[in-house]
C-alpha cells in the first residue's frame, strides 16, 4: 500500500467514525427542540421528559464528537500538507468560523443541560435550546463548505506556483455549497430521527408499551418521514449538480459510458471491465436523463468522453445504489407507519413493523456512511478537483501505516465505550419510575 493510499485510508477511517457523532450532533438539537415545543403546546410532560433523556445521551455523543472532530483537523494538515498549502490560504475562513459555531453551540448546550428546573416558565428553557440548534447547523454549514470547495474550487488563481487573487467568500460559496449543505443537514435530521425511533421501537418490543414510548415513536417517525422526503428532493438537485459540474462522478455512479440522450438509470448489476457491458442490472428507462437534466430526453455525458486517468473508481456505483436504496426504504417504512397511524392505529404496534423500524435505525446510519464514501471516492483522483491530485497532496512520512493501526484501535475503544455508557445510563435510569412520580404529582 503506497503512502497516498495509506493516508486516504487513515483519513477515511477517521471520517467514517466521526460522521456518526457529527450526524447526531447536527440532528439531535432539532429533535430536542421539537419535543420541547410539543410538550408546551400540548401541555404534555411526556415530551419534555423525552427531551430531557435525549439531552443526557446527546451530551455523551457531543463529547466524543469533539475529540474526533479535532483529530480530523489535525490529520488533514498532517496527511495532506500539499492540500493545506492551498486550503490554508483560500478556505481557512469556514474552518475558523466552524470553531466559533461549535463554541456558540457548546455554551448554550451547557446552559440548557443545567437549567431544567431553573425557569418557572419552560418557554425560557426552549429559548436557550434555539442557539444550540443554530450553532450545530452553522457548524455543519461551515465544514461542509470546505468539502464543497474540494469539489468545485474557486476564489483563487495559481500563477507560477503562487496563489493569488484570493477571495475567501467566493471560495466558500462555490457551486457545490448549496446542494452539499442541504444534503448534509436534511440527512442528519432524518438519520437522527430514525436512530431514536429504532431505539424506541426496541423498548416497545421488549414490553415498554406506555404512552411515553408511543409518543416518542410517533414523533420521531413523523420527523424522519419529513426529512427523508426532503433528502430525496435534495438528492435530485445533487444529481443535476453532478451532471453540470462533475459529470465523471455521475457517469461512474451509473456505469454510463456512452454520451447519449434518453439515458437509463441502472440499479445493481455486474460490470464486465473488458467490454464495459453491464449485466443483470435493473434498468429504469430514461431516468438518468431526468435525474441529470429534468428531461427524459436530456443528454448525459459518458465516461468515454472523459480522460481515463480522471475516472473515479467504478465501484462507487454500489455505494450510490446502497445509499439511495436505504433512503427509499426509509421513505416507504416511515410513510407506511404514518399512514397506519391515521388509518388503523392498532396495527401501528405490529411487531413486524416495529422490527423493521429497529432495523431502519442502523440502516439509515449506514446510508450516511455510504453517502460519504460515494462523495469522497467519487472525487478521486482529485483532492482539489482540477488543481491537485491526492498523490500530490499526500504526506511522504513513512509512519502513516502505524498511525492507521493505532487510530483504528482508539476508535474501536471509543465506540465500545460510548455504547457502554449510553446503555448503562438507560438501564440505571428507566423511564417508568419517572412516569409514576409525575403521575403521583398530578
Task: Please state whether the peptide bond connecting residue 72 to the residue before it is cis, i.e. omega within 30 degrees of 0.
Answer: no
Q: Name the β-bridge partners of 272.
A: 277
How remote is the C-alpha of 431 from its chain's centroid? 29
Helix (H) or strand (E) holding 166: none
In angstroms, rounded to a whole number, what is the distance separating the alpha carbons of residues 79 and 342? 53
- The CA distances from residue 100 to 61, 283, 306, in Å, are 19, 47, 41
- The CA distances from residue 259 to 195, 245, 286, in Å, are 40, 16, 13
In angstroms, rounded to a whole number, what is the distance separating the alpha carbons of residues 279 and 217? 41
- The CA distances from residue 359 to 2, 352, 354, 356, in Å, are 38, 11, 9, 5
DSSP single-letter state for residue 210: S
**What pLDDT, on the 0 to 100 scale, is given for residue 440?**
41
**What pLDDT, on the 0 to 100 scale, is given for residue 1?**
57
Contact (Cβ atoms closer than 8 angstroms) between residue 217 and residue 193: no
Q: In degrees rounded to 5, what are phi and psi of residue 162?
A: -100, 140
In angstroms, rounded to a whole number, what is the distance separating the alpha carbons of residues 21 and 27? 10
C-alpha cell at 16: 467514517
Going residue by residue through the chain (442 aa), what tens digit of pLDDT does each one get?
577 788 888 888 888 888 888 898 889 989 988 988 888 888 878 888 888 888 888 888 888 887 887 888 777 778 888 888 787 788 888 888 888 888 888 888 888 888 777 777 778 878 888 888 888 888 889 888 988 998 898 888 887 777 888 888 888 899 999 999 999 999 999 999 999 999 889 888 887 777 788 888 889 999 999 999 999 999 888 889 998 898 899 889 888 888 888 888 888 888 887 787 888 888 888 888 888 888 888 888 888 888 888 889 989 989 999 999 999 999 999 998 888 877 766 666 778 888 999 999 999 999 999 998 898 888 888 888 888 888 888 878 777 788 888 888 888 888 888 888 888 877 776 665 655 455 444 4
3-state percent breakdown (helix, strand, coil) of the chain, nearest 5: 75, 5, 20
DSSP single-letter state for residue 206: T
Cell numbers 457491458 correspond to: 277
**What pLDDT, on the 0 to 100 scale, is given for residue 267?**
86
Helix (H, G, I), strand (E, B) or coil at 379: coil
Amino acid at each position: 500500500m503506497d503512502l497516498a493510499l495509506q493516508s486516504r485510508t487513515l483519513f477515511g477511517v477517521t471520517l467514517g467514525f466521526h460522521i456518526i457523532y457529527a450526524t447526531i450532533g447536527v440532528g439531535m438539537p432539532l429533535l430536542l427542540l421539537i419535543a420541547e415545543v410539543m410538550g408546551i403546546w400540548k401541555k404534555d410532560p411526556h415530551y419534555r421528559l423525552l427531551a430531557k433523556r435525549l439531552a443526557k445521551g446527546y451530551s455523551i455523543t457531543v463529547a466524543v464528537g469533539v475529540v474526533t472532530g479535532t483529530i480530523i483537523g489535525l490529520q488533514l494538515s498532517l496527511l495532506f500538507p500539499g492540500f493545506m498549502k492551498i486550503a490554508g490560504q483560500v478556505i481557512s475562513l469556514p474552518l475558523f468560523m466552524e470553531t466559533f459555531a461549535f463554541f456558540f453551540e457548546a455554551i448554550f448546550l451547557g446552559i440548557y443541560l443545567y437549567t431544567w428546573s431553573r425557569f418557572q416558565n419552560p418557554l425560557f428553557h426552549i429559548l436557550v435550546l434555539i442557539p444550540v440548534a443554530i450553532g450545530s447547523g452553522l457548524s455543519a454549514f461551515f465544514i461542509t463548505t470546505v468539502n464543497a470547495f474540494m469539489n468545485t474550487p474557486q476564489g483563487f488563481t495559481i500563477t507560477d506556483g503562487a496563489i493569488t487573487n484570493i477571495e475567501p467568500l467566493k471560495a466558500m460559496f462555490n457551486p457545490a455549497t448549496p446542494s452539499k449543505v442541504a444534503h448534509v443537514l436534511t440527512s442528519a435530521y432524518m438519520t437522527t430521527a430514525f436512530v431514536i425511533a429504532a431505539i424506541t421501537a426496541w423498548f416497545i418490543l421488549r414490553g415498554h408499551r406506555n404512552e411515553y414510548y408511543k409518543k416518542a415513536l410517533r414523533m420521531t417517525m413523523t420527523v424522519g418521514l419529513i426529512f427523508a422526503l426532503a433528502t430525496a428532493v435534495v438528492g435530485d438537485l445533487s444529481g443535476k449538480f453532478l451532471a453540470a459540474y462533475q459529470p465523471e462522478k455521475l457517469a461512474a455512479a451509473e456505469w454510463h459510458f456512452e454520451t447519449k440522450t434518453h439515458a437509463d438509470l441502472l440499479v445493481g448489476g455486474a460490470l464486465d471491465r473488458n467490454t464495459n457491458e453491464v449485466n443483470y442490472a435493473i434498468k429504469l428507462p430514461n431516468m438518468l436523463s431526468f435525474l441529470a437534466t429534468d428531461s427524459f430526453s436530456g443528454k448525459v455525458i459518458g465516461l468515454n468522453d472523459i480522460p481515463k486517468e480522471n475516472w473515479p473508481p467504478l465501484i462507487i456505483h454500489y455505494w450510490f445504489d446502497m445509499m439511495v436504496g436505504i433512503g427509499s426504504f426509509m421513505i416507504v417504512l416511515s410513510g407506511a407507519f404514518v399512514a397506519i397511524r391515521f388509518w388503523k392505529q392498532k396495527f401501528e404496534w405490529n411487531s413486524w413493523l416495529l422490527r423493521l423500524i429497529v432495523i431502519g435505525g442502523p440502516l439509515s446510519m449506514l446510508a450516511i456512511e455510504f453517502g460519504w464514501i460515494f462523495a469522497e471516492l467519487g472525487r478521486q483522483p482529485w483532492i482539489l478537483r482540477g488543481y491537485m491530485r491526492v498523490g500530490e497532496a499526500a504526506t511522504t512520512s513513512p509512519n502513516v501505516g502505524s498511525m492507521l493501526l493505532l487510530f483504528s484501535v482508539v476508535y474501536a475503544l471509543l465506540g465500545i465505550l460510548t455504547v457502554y455508557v449510553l446503555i448503562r445510563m438507560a438501564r440505571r435510569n428507566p423511564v417508568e419510575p419517572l412516569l409514576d412520580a409525575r403521575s403521583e404529582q398530578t
